[in-house]
A and B are shown apart, each in its own frame.
Chain A
Amino acid sequence: MAEVSVRNVRLSYGKIQALKDVSLEVEEGSLFGIIGPDGAGKTSLFRIMTTLIVPDSGSAQVCGYDTVKDMMEIRRLVGYMPGHFSLYQDLTVEENLSLFASVFNTTVQENYSLVEDIYRQIEPFRKRRAGKLSGGMKQKLALCCAMIHRPRVLFLDEPTTGVDPVSRKEFWQMLSRLRAQGMTIIVSTPYMDEASLCDTVSLMKDGRFFKTDSPGAITEKFGKHLFEIKAGVSTVKALDGLAAIDGVQACYPFGDRLHIVSSSLSLAELSERAASAGYDISTLAECTPTVEDCFMDFDNNDYE
């Protein structure tokens, strides 16, 4: 049985539909990513799974318990890190950790082995108030606090938003280690590049999942040809020009290249058309799509 399952959940705030029929299944011990921009409904979904909100319709189970009926059982078994930083800013690192340990009826000593790896990195600052820590350190402390009671399922709502790339990378390394210890982790993020680090991802927009699969399967099923070309820095003209080529569906910047999407053109056909339109095609090549390419492609098409 799945560790977390959500079935046909709907939720509205007044006229705004935050969640439109969302379902998911998370296997025990897996790292599940919910990828989508702000306003997609990620936080609402997390709040339903963590018993904070009752959905308008549909249901959710965590560790076999119903989020509405068995609220208190679930609250004992899960760890939750909300989207905005939520530690006590005026308490020190140490004080925060031992407070949360007490809240969950345990002690720091009892489960130190679990958090040791992460806590050691912030230990030199244990006497510092949480409010004086910088972004990455706050995230690490918040993660320690969220799992000091050895939860079965860890819910992390946008833990890496606003965190610099180095800290983000470290954070994901920590998550992989936790998963290796058998913890089930559900994490949301607006950063598409983090999708590849999950076992399964759901791409979410406007209150709906439009794709749920392993990152590899998602990119495999892209179903169109994707090309890349190195472009000069002044890309506005190049973008418009390449997008206007017959048979090209989309052209957008991707890192230091431009990505060109076409369902019909082969590399040879595109090369010929681009060359005749006056582009330097020496760097034009077919390339493998990323989750971000898939996200943008789905974005313009119908939902599953």
Chain B
Amino acid sequence: MAIHAESLTKRFGNFTAVDNISFSVEKGEIFGFLGANGAGKTTAMRMLCGLSRPTSGKAVVAGIDIVKDPERIKKRIGYMSQRFSLYDDLTVSENMTLFAGIYGMREKDIAAKRTAVLTRLGLYDERDMLVGSLPLGWKQKLAFSVSIFHEPAVVFLDEPTGGVDPVTRRQFWRQIYEASERGITVFVTTHYMDEAEYCHRVSIMVDGHIAAMDTPSELKASLGAGTMDDVFYMLARNAERIG
């Protein structure tokens, strides 16, 4: 089990951002974490990354208790968000070395792995280019490679494909599949409902609860919906916390 959360709750004053959620994610699974704006996705994700302490409940990520040992979790996970991922004023290989170093990889391991990853991405010739000068799609792919460079047990992706063109978006998902096939668990949020279909399982959060959790096809079948877009709309349209 890569992630196991039990009655996870986070309150801010008398506002319950995350209300008693429980779920498990298998090793190598691609888990889509969906929800309306303000439903509590970000708060839940922060707790699982060891950045925020739950008010009650417990969770184990990559075998580590998030309450007892939040610092050790950070070494076992990768993280990528649309907003921040790489330093624009460092080169491709400098970024890789930096993040690998942050996650405690040894220098000689870094050098060998860096060459391998760059070659696989087809970015070897661009290794000395500043990240800021790369097209957005390449940046995104590079950012993902960097986030799993240290072979984490779980990688958290927070809206990784926002604003990316459809071709690059699919190339990005191909990377996600490859990572998953190598045994890396992928925990991903997205606003693209077609991407929800690419996940092994999805959960949909509404008002701090998990309103539904299953495989995309089961969710569609049980609600009689044609697409994940319809599923989402049916579940989230009556949310109290208006998005």
The residues of A with any CB-CB pair to B shorter than 8 Å are: 36-40, 121-122, 134-137, 161-169, 190-193, 205, 233-236, 239, 252-256, 292, 295-296, 299-300
Instruction: Determine the chain B residues whose CB is within 8 A of the CB of A193 once the complex forms.
Output: 194, 229
Q: Which of B71-79, B107-115, B173-181 contacts its partner?
A: B173-181
Q: How far is the CB of B86 from chain A (nearest CB, A)?
A: 15
Partner of A166, one of B162, B181, B239: B239
Query: Quick one: which of A121, A165, A233 has the most chain B CB within 10 A?
Result: A165
Smallest CB gap from B133: residue in A: A16
Taking a contact as CB atoms under 8 Å apart, the answer to whether B194 and A254 are in contact is yes
Residues in chain A near residue B37, CB distance under 8 A: 134-136, 162-164, 167
B36 close to A (CB within 8 Å): yes
Q: Which of B62-70, B122-130, B142-150, B164-172 contacts A (4 or more CB under 8 A)?
A: B164-172
Interface-centre pick from A121, A169, A252, A255 (highest chain B CB count, 10 A): A255
Instruction: Tell me if A253 and B164 are in contact (CB < 8 A).
Output: no
From B163, B228, B239, B243, A38 is in contact (CB under 8 Å) with B163
Q: Is B156 an interface residue (CB 8 A)?
A: no
Alpha-carbon gap, A135 to B104, bound state (A): 37
Query: What are the 3 tightest A-B residue pairs by CB atom distance, in nearest-first order?
Result: A136-B243, A37-B165, A134-B38
Q: CA of A273 to CA of B217 in the docked complex: distance in angstroms?
A: 27
User: Is B116's beta carbon under 8 Å from chain A?
Assistant: no
Q: Which residues of A lie under 8 Å from residue B236 when comparing CB positions?
A: 164-166
The answer to whether A169 and B197 touch (CB under 8 A), given A36-B165, A137-B243, A255-B228, is: no
- The answer on a CB contact under 8 Å between A236 and B164 is no
Q: Which residues of the other chain, A, contact B228 by a CB distance below 8 angstroms?
A: 255-256
Tell yes or no: B216 within 8 A of A by CB. yes
Closest Cβ of chain A: how far from B12's Cβ, in Å? 12
A239 nearest CB across to chain B (Å): 7
| B53 is an interface residue with CB less than 8 A from chain A | no
Q: Is the CB of B177 within 8 A of A38?
A: no
With A234-B177, A256-B197 as contacts: A299 and B191 at CB distance below 8 Å: no
B27 at the interface (CB under 8 A from A): no
Q: Are B233 and A165 within 8 A (Cβ)?
A: yes
Q: Which of A122, A191, A236, A254 contacts B174, CB < 8 Å?
A: A236
- Provide 5 A-B residue pairs closer than 8 Å at the C-beta atoms, listed in order of the A residue: A38-B164, A190-B165, A191-B192, A193-B194, A300-B167
Nearest-neighbour CB distance to chain B for A29, whole angstroms, equals 28
- CB neighbours (8 Å) of B173 from chain A are 253
B241 within 8 A of A: yes
* A236 CA to B39 CA, complexed, in Å: 32
Flag whether B242 is at the interface (Cβ < 8 A).
Answer: yes
Min Cβ gap B158→A in Å is 11
Q: Are A253 and B243 in contact (CB under 8 A)?
A: no
Complex Cα spacing A191 to B229, Å: 13
Residues of A within 8 A of B237 (CB): 166
Is B35 an interface residue, CB under 8 A from the partner? Answer: yes
Kindly name the residue among B162, B165, B194 whose own CB sees the greatest number of chain A CB atoms within 10 A.
Answer: B165
B94 at interface, CB cutoff 8 A: no
Verify B163–A166 contact, CB threshold 8 A.
Answer: no
Pairwise interchain contact B191-A136, C-beta atoms closer than 8 A: no
- Nearest B residue (CB) for A36: B165
> Could you say which residues of chain B place their CB within 8 Å of the CB of A164?
35-37, 39, 191, 232, 236, 243
B211 interface residue, CB < 8 Å from A?
A: no
Q: Which residues of chain B have C-beta atoms less than 8 A from A234's C-beta?
A: 177, 181
Q: In the complex, which of the residues B167, B178, B216, B243 contacts A256, with contact meaning CB atoms closer than 8 Å?
A: B216
